[in-house]
Amino acid sequence: MPETEAVETKELELPKQRYIINTRICPNFTPQMFDPYYWINRGRILNTSSGRGTAYFVDAGPGGHWVLRHYLRGGLMAHFLKDRYMYPGRRLCRPYREFRLLAELLEKGLPVPEPVAAHVNLDYYPLARYDIITRRVDNSRDLAAVMAERDLTDQELERLGEALVQLRDNKVHHRDLNIRNILLDDNGKFWFIDFDRGSLGGDHFGEMLQRLRRSLAKEKTIKGSAFNWNDERFSLILRSCS
């Protein structure tokens, strides 16, 4: 992913639809960009990724490669309100907060993707549906994919710890720091993605480390020998965090 400049934003209000846009990399924004079929019909889908929902990796031409993600609930509420949330107002809703948090983290020089645009659909007001587009971290894979093929080296684990320290020193709270939200690129750099419900302030670093450790242990339990991990090696991450 190329070096980023300051995010330049504008907001757009249409009937029952709200948008915030990074005009620096998306000067010709159209609301249809949040519809996967906009990209499918143009042959611009590069790949998809399935987790709680489907993320679409798209070729945006001069804007680079982007990731389109629709917000979906987890837990018990997902059975009743799969993708709908009580709308707290534009400034407090999840996609706007994630967009602005990513912009602020970029200004601090942290390894996160650049936000492209966020969308609020108010067709079901007072419930809302949300989407976000971010710039893709090219030539990268998440740790689940990397560690399914090979061990992380000692040096890589130490660099991961150093990247985590950047979050700690800037008081970043990542609410779901797991191995699918950490990327490793071809240059050996670690990136953090998916800052839904994230925030700045407070001391949440120990909680984040424990969540990461549980994620590694869970994947090992599920995959067994097909996942290259030994919990004793977590000390290499901790050593870089001290």
Asked if residue 127 and residue 16 are part of one domain, the reply reads yes
Q: Is the same domain home to 131 and 155?
A: no
- 58: in domain: yes
- 187 within domain boundaries: yes
| Total domain count, the chain | 2
Does residue 56 have a pLDDT over 70? Answer: yes
**pTM for the structure as a whole:** 0.95
> Does position 137 have pLDDT exceeding 90, yes or no?
yes
For residue 188, what is the DSSP state?
A: S
pLDDT level of residue 54 (50, 70, 90 thresholds) = confident
Q: Which of 35, 59, 176, 185 is catalytic?
A: 176
Plot region of 43 (φ>0 → left; ψ -120 to 50 → alpha; else → beta): left
Three-class SS state of 112: coil
Bridge partners (DSSP) listed for residue 48: 56
Q: Which helix (H) or strand (E) holds 216?
A: helix 205-223
Residue 3 lies in a domain: no
Q: Which domain holds residue 144?
A: 140-241
- 81 and 194 assigned to the same domain: no
CA distance 145 to 140: 10
pLDDT-derived band at 74 (thresholds 50, 70, 90) equals confident
196 part of the active site: no
Worst-scoring range by mean pLDDT, 9-13, 71-75, 101-105, 228-232?
71-75
Tell me the per-residue pLDDT of 80-115, one tens digit each, with 9 for 90 and over. 888 999 999 999 999 999 999 999 999 999 999 999
Beta strand extents in 104-211 (DSSP E only): 115-121, 127-135, 140-142, 172-173, 182-185, 190-192, 199-200
State whether 17 and 119 are in the same domain. Answer: yes
- Cα-based distances in Å from 44 to 54, 59, 61: 16, 5, 9
Q: What percent of the chain has pLDDT over 70?
A: 97
Tell me whether residue 1 is in a domain: no
* Domain assignment of residue 2, yes or no: no
Residues 16 and 70 in one domain: yes
**Token pair 């994630």 is at which residue?**
98
Whether 207 is covered by a domain: the verdict is yes
Same domain for 23 and 68? Answer: yes
